[in-house]
Chains A and B, each alone.
Chain A
Amino acid sequence: MILIEDLSLAHGGTPILRDINLTIDRGGIVALVGPNGAGKSSLLSLIARLRPLQTGRVVIDDLPVTTTPGRELARRMAILRQDGVFAGRLTVRELVSLGRFPHSQGRSTPQDRARVEEALAQFGVADLAERFLETLSGGQRQRALVAMTFCQGTDYLLLDEPLNNLDMFHARHLMQSLRRMADEEDRTAIIVLHDINQAAAYADRIIAMRDGRVVADGTPQDVLTPDTLAEIFGYRMQVTQIGGKPLVLHHL
């Protein structure tokens, strides 16, 4: 369970997050949606202790992020950042292997190597394993980063716009992988999405943010109504139903 209590964040006097309180249970997919600048990435980076907390508390499975050793947290929670491009000559396999670091501390066991190969295959980068990252296309690089995050094998995954640069095939494949992970292994994904229909189809819960506040929180059926969507995104859009799931015609 992830517990977020009274979380606020300000930057040079400008509030970025205001008084966020959330409880995220174990198992399932939580989609974080909202317009640009709503504070989604800021929230994820506070949960993942990438930035120091200013006020409030974040607790992962009874472990407060501010006082728990980093390695302990890294075995429970992995984060994929929105701008996760690294410098340096690194092959895809080397990058993905680093995902095992919290477990192996660099001395990888045969199990670690098997997990790496599995992740490479799962996200279709096995053929690119020996290529240097800087020689990949944007989507290929994103898949390598996703593979690394999965490879960390944590109960909680925080994914900031993981569908960036992915084609439809790989976007669907990633969402299906997350669904399987949540259903079969009781793991949890918190995923920032701009494609609201991916959230509608795959998420168990949608949390919508605007101006640093949570403005809607519930199942896709609850949140994806014309009124709520207008409140979140600032314009009205039609919503229909297909196969029992809402479909938002946001582009019309």
Chain B
Amino acid sequence: MHKRRLVLLAVLAVVSVAAFLTLGLRGNLAFVLQIRAVKLLALVQVAVSVALSTVLFQTVTANRILTPSIMGLDALYLFGQALLVFLLGGLGYAAIGGGWKFAAEVLIMIALAAVLLRPLLTARLDMSLLLLTGVTIGLLFRSLSQLLFRLLDPNAFAVVQAASFANFNALRADLTIIGSVVTFAAAALCWHLRHRLDVVALGREAAIGLGIDWSRTAALLLLVVALLVAVSTALVGPVAFFGLLVAALAERILGTRRHAVLLPAAALVAIILLVGGQAIFQHLLGSASTLGVVIEFAGGIAFLLLLYLGSRT
């Protein structure tokens, strides 16, 4: 049953990709196709990194409502970006290469996450407290980023735009290669760890009882999550509920949380929604920027539904 549904999802994903590449083609074919292929690569990276980071995060925290962005990880990344612009100045920031920028931003983000989020996640707070803290951290660092920008001159502000919605239309092309490397490496690692992740999902004590080195494994997984969030946030900006929507849909469709099935399913669902959605909105309806809003709206509804259903059981 799982195999058939996975194959179905794969077919849908391929259809989405084909639609994205071919719908409404006009003008110089080779040129347009090349542009679309580059954009496709970026969208697939975003889809896969959001899907994997959400599933990993839910597995480590043994919680199906939390996502990295609800816990404010993307806000930490954007703060790292703002801090870098602030320290280097707009021109200095623009002068360094995309890879170095990304590395520095990721380092700032991981340092902040290690100090702020790790103690929270290991302290086994109850769910509502965790949610509240996550939202607070997100708000705090978003405001801090805004503050840093206000302190800068307007020119510097224009260098980085921290949008509050994901924009799937304005992708940062300079990150395609490093993003692909990180996403591919993370996906390979996830696949390698798929059985161990099933054990990790049982929670700390049960996992230790089955021989998992918990602190090392949890630290590794959170590091991978941070890297993946950095990739997707750098490429399109913060996506609040997309990951939640994707993980919940994948689990609903496949009816299991076994990672050998759930991880590819979540990635495929994300590709279908993102690439297929962008194909429809950009190439068919001609309104490229709406997809972000629609996806976040659907994700927000999924979040409320999960909260509501979860609170009743």
Question: Is B211 a contact partner of A75 (Cβ separation < 8 A)?
Answer: yes
Residues in A with CB closer than 8 Å to B63 are 87
Question: Is A101 a contact partner of B210 (Cβ separation < 8 A)?
Answer: yes
Given the interface contacts A87-B62, A94-B258, does A79 sit within 8 Å of B209 by beta carbon?
yes
Q: Which of A73, A84, A90, A107 contacts B211 (CB 8 A)?
A: A73
* Interface check B136, CB cutoff 8 A: no
Given the interface contacts A50-B205, A88-B257, does A70 sit within 8 Å of B211 by beta carbon?
yes
* Interface check A226, CB cutoff 8 A: no
A8-46 contacts to B (CB < 8 Å) = 45
Task: Quote the shortest CB–CB distance from B259 to chain A (angstroms).
Answer: 10
Number of A-B contacts (CB under 8 A): 71
- What are 7 sample pairs from A and B whose C-beta atoms fall under 8 A apart? A50-B205, A70-B214, A87-B63, A88-B202, A89-B256, A101-B198, A152-B210
Task: Quote the shortest CB–CB distance from A72 to chain B (angstroms).
Answer: 8
Task: Quote the shortest CB–CB distance from B28 to chain A (angstroms).
Answer: 50
A83-124 contacts to B (CB < 8 Å) = 84, 86-90, 94, 98-99, 101-102, 105-107
Residues in A with CB closer than 8 Å to B223 are none
Question: Is B199 a contact partner of A70 (Cβ separation < 8 A)?
Answer: no
Which residue of chain A is the closest to B202 with respect to CB atoms?
Answer: A86
Question: Is A98 a contact partner of B205 (Cβ separation < 8 A)?
Answer: no
Most chain B CB atoms below 10 A, which of A69, A74, A94? A74
Question: Is B195 a contact partner of A101 (Cβ separation < 8 A)?
Answer: yes
B residues touching A (Cβ–Cβ < 8 Å)?
A: 62-64, 194-196, 198-199, 201-206, 208-214, 251, 255-258, 313
Question: Is A89 a contact partner of B198 (Cβ separation < 8 A)?
Answer: no
List 9 additional contacts besides A70-B213, A70-B214; criterion CB under 8 Å: A50-B209, A70-B208, A73-B211, A81-B205, A87-B63, A88-B62, A98-B199, A105-B195, A152-B210
* Interface check A49, CB cutoff 8 A: yes
* Interface check A191, CB cutoff 8 A: no
A residues touching B (Cβ–Cβ < 8 Å)?
A: 45, 48-50, 69-75, 78-79, 81, 84, 86-90, 94, 98-99, 101-102, 105-107, 134, 152
Q: Which of B194, B205, B214, B257 contacts A90 (CB 8 A)?
A: B257
Task: Quote the shortest CB–CB distance from A115 to chain B (angstroms).
Answer: 15
Residues in A with CB closer than 8 Å to B201 are 86, 88
Bound complex: CA A69 to CA B208 (Å): 11
Residues in B with CB closer than 8 Å to A102 are 210-211
Given the interface contacts A98-B198, A106-B194, A106-B196, does A86 sit within 8 Å of B210 by beta carbon?
no
Given the interface contacts A89-B255, A89-B256, A98-B198, does A49 sit within 8 Å of B211 by beta carbon?
no
Task: Quote the shortest CB–CB distance from B134 to chain A (angstroms).
Answer: 18
A-B pairs, top 4 by smallest CB distance, nearest first, are A106-B195, A74-B211, A71-B211, A102-B211
Bound complex: CA A70 to CA B208 (Å): 7
Which residue of chain B is the closest to A103 with respect to CB atoms?
Answer: B211
Residues in A with CB closer than 8 Å to B213 are 69-70
Residues in A with CB closer than 8 Å to B206 are 81, 84, 86
Most chain A CB atoms below 10 A, which of B63, B64, B203? B203
Bound complex: CA A48 to CA B203 (Å): 15
Residues in A with CB closer than 8 Å to B208 are 48-50, 70
Question: Is B211 a contact partner of A101 (Cβ separation < 8 A)?
Answer: yes
Which residue of chain B is the closest to A71 with respect to CB atoms?
Answer: B211
Given the interface contacts A89-B251, A101-B199, A106-B198, does A74 sit within 8 Å of B257 by beta carbon?
no
Given the interface contacts A87-B62, A88-B257, does A74 sit within 8 Å of B195 by beta carbon?
no
Residues in B with CB closer than 8 Å to A94 are 198, 256, 258
Residues in A with CB closer than 8 Å to B257 are 88-90
Question: Is A87 a contact partner of B211 (Cβ separation < 8 A)?
Answer: no
Residues in B with CB closer than 8 Å to A78 are 209
Task: Quote the shortest CB–CB distance from A73 to chain B (angstroms).
Answer: 7
Most chain B CB atoms below 10 A, which of A70, A71, A102, A152? A70
Residues in B with CB closer than 8 Å to A89 are 251, 255-257
Which residue of chain A is the closest to B212 with respect to CB atoms?
Answer: A70
Bound complex: CA A158 to CA B109 (Å): 42
Residues in A with CB closer than 8 Å to B251 are 89
Residues in A with CB closer than 8 Å to B199 are 98, 101
Question: Is B212 a contact partner of A98 (Cβ separation < 8 A)?
Answer: no
Task: Quote the shortest CB–CB distance from B63 to chain A (angstroms).
Answer: 8
Residues in B with CB closer than 8 Å to A87 are 62-64, 203
Which residue of chain B is the closest to A81 with respect to CB atoms?
Answer: B205
Question: Is A48 a contact partner of B209 (Cβ separation < 8 A)?
Answer: yes
